[in-house]
Amino acid sequence: MKKNLTQYLVEQQRTKGTVTADVRLLLETVARACKAIGHAVSKGALGGVLGSLESENVQGEVQKKLDVLSNEILLEANEWGGNLAAMASEEMDTLHRIPEYYPKGDNLLLFDPLDGSSNIDVNVSIGTIFSVLQVPEEARQRDIQEIDFLQAGYKQVAAGYAVYGPQTMLILTVGDGVASFTLDKEMGSWVLTSERLCIPEDTAEFAINMSNMRHWEPPVKRYIDDCLQGVEGPLGKNYNMRWIASMVADVHRILTRGGVFMYPRDKRASVREGKLRLMYEANPMSMLVEQAGGMSIDGVQRILDIQPTGLHQRVGVILGSKNEVARVLKYHTADTN
Ligand code: AHG
Ligand code: MN
Ligand code: MN
């Protein structure tokens, strides 16, 4: 019989020591919440879950019904689990402490409850992204503050996402490679379908929103120009382009068959620091990509080394196949020298 999520995590805990009992139980709770979100997503119009609300989130984005519902599912599932001290999310202005009357643990959970909002109503793959950090030593005897979340991505103890697509899948790292699980909907269990995802070092496929070309910085423009020139250009091969506009789905393709994903910062005022959020989009995805042998940068530096300054901080993201991302890095550093 194939292994399931619980067996995989127990084995990681027992033989590799990459996961503690606390984190193992926390991940099982997150996975259970993702199952519930996937269920709501799949109901679509029948469940009355499509469409927008009147409200906006802290970043001024209109909230979809599923953004809010998914946030509630994750909060509710994780509040009483006993493995967390606090949570933070794209859909909440500030942190959410575990209420007094519930048991607490020494972990912090961050999430983008529903990634790819623009794809919800058109039945295209969307997902949930999550990141697990430990409560810093100095904060263990007091109330958690926002600053306790502001840890560089290399300190994550686990990261992953669920993708709600033709299959519902969970992709996870606890710091020892990347495993993927497929939801067996009849049995209700996450079945291990790949123990070690590996991103090929080379690729001939890129993902970027080309409609922003006129706003890009020169190194990004140079790289995409090179790709577009195909066999006649400096890269000597023809490139294919894909852009799903759900980071989860684009990164999932890259973890499966390689490629480069780019949402660079650009000259628009709203994207000067980037569009994607460091703490619950870029950091967890960067940990997964690195654990699968890929590379992830903001243009000039490794994303996992960035010291965060805010819960909702944005960052440029260029990730995927190692040799291509290294080339983009080279273009950026050549540009600043
Ligand atoms: P979210 O739905 O959580 O706000 O994230 C959407 C993000 C990301 O998933 C995707 O890569 C990007 O926004 C798409 O942006 P464009 O619509 O600008 O292409
Ligand atoms: Mn998102
Ligand atoms: Mn979102």
Structure confidence at residue 215 (pLDDT): 98
Structure confidence at residue 47 (pLDDT): 87
Q: Parallel, antiparallel, or unpaired for β 260-263 and 205-207?
A: parallel
Mean pLDDT across the chain = 96
Q: Parallel, antiparallel, or unpaired for β 52-56 and 179-184?
A: unpaired
Percent of the chain scoring above 90 in pLDDT: 91
Check whether 337 has a pLDDT greater than 50. Answer: no
CB of residue 246 inside a 6 A radius of ligand 1: yes
CB of residue 118 inside a 6 A radius of ligand 1: yes
Instruction: List residues forming the annotated binding site for Mg(2+).
Output: 90, 112, 114-115, 281
Q: For the residues 29-57, what does the mean pLDDT come to?
A: 92
Cα–Cα distance, 54 to 70 (Å, whole number) = 17
Structure confidence at residue 53 (pLDDT): 85
Domain boundaries, given as residue ranges, for the chain: 5-194, 205-336
Q: Is 150 exposed, middle or buried (0-12, 13-18, 19+ CB in 10 A)?
A: middle
CA–centroid distance, residue 45 to ligand 2 (Å):
22
Least confident range of 48-52, 195-199, 258-262:
48-52
Which ligand is nearest the CA of 252, by number? 1
Check whether 335 has a pLDDT greater than 70. Answer: no
Which ligand is nearest the CA of 120, by number? 1
Q: How does pLDDT run across 139-181, given as a tens digit for each residue?
A: 999 999 999 999 999 999 999 999 999 999 999 999 999 999 9
CATH of 205-336, one of 3.40.190.80, 3.40.50.1100, 3.40.50.300, 3.40.50.620: 3.40.190.80
CA–centroid distance, residue 63 to ligand 3 (Å):
9
State phi, psi for 181 to the nearest 5 degrees: -125, 140
CB of residue 247 inside a 6 A radius of ligand 1: yes
Residue 197: band (very low, low, confident or very high) from pLDDT cuts 50, 70, 90: very high
Q: For the residues 58-84, what does the mean pLDDT come to?
A: 93
Q: Is 6 exposed, middle or buried (0-12, 13-18, 19+ CB in 10 A)?
A: middle
CB of residue 331 inside a 6 A radius of ligand 1: no
Give just the sign of the alpha carbon dihedral 256, 257, 260, 263: negative
Structure confidence at residue 113 (pLDDT): 98
Structure confidence at residue 262 (pLDDT): 98
Architecture of domain 5-194: 2-Layer Sandwich (3.30)
Query: Ligand 1 atom 15: the closest Cα is on which residue?
Result: 245
- 5-194 and 205-336 in the same fold: no
Q: How does pLDDT run across 254-306, given as a tens digit for each residue?
A: 999 999 999 999 999 999 999 999 999 999 999 999 999 999 999 999 999 99
Q: For the residues 197-208, what does the mean pLDDT come to?
A: 98
Structure confidence at residue 59 (pLDDT): 82
* CA 184 vs CA 188, 193, 267: distances in Å: 6, 11, 45
Which ligand is nearest the CA of 118, by number? 1
CB of residue 152 inside a 6 A radius of ligand 1: no
Q: For the residues 66-79, what does the mean pLDDT come to?
A: 96
CB of residue 209 inside a 6 A radius of ligand 1: yes
- Pseudo-torsion of CA 295, 321, 292, 303, nearest 10°? 20
Q: For the residues 227-234, what does the mean pLDDT come to?
A: 98
For residues 153-188, b (16+ Cβ closer than 10 Å) or e, as one string? Answer: beebbbbbbbbbbeebbbbbbbeebbbbbbbeeeee
Q: For the residues 22-49, what does the mean pLDDT come to?
A: 95
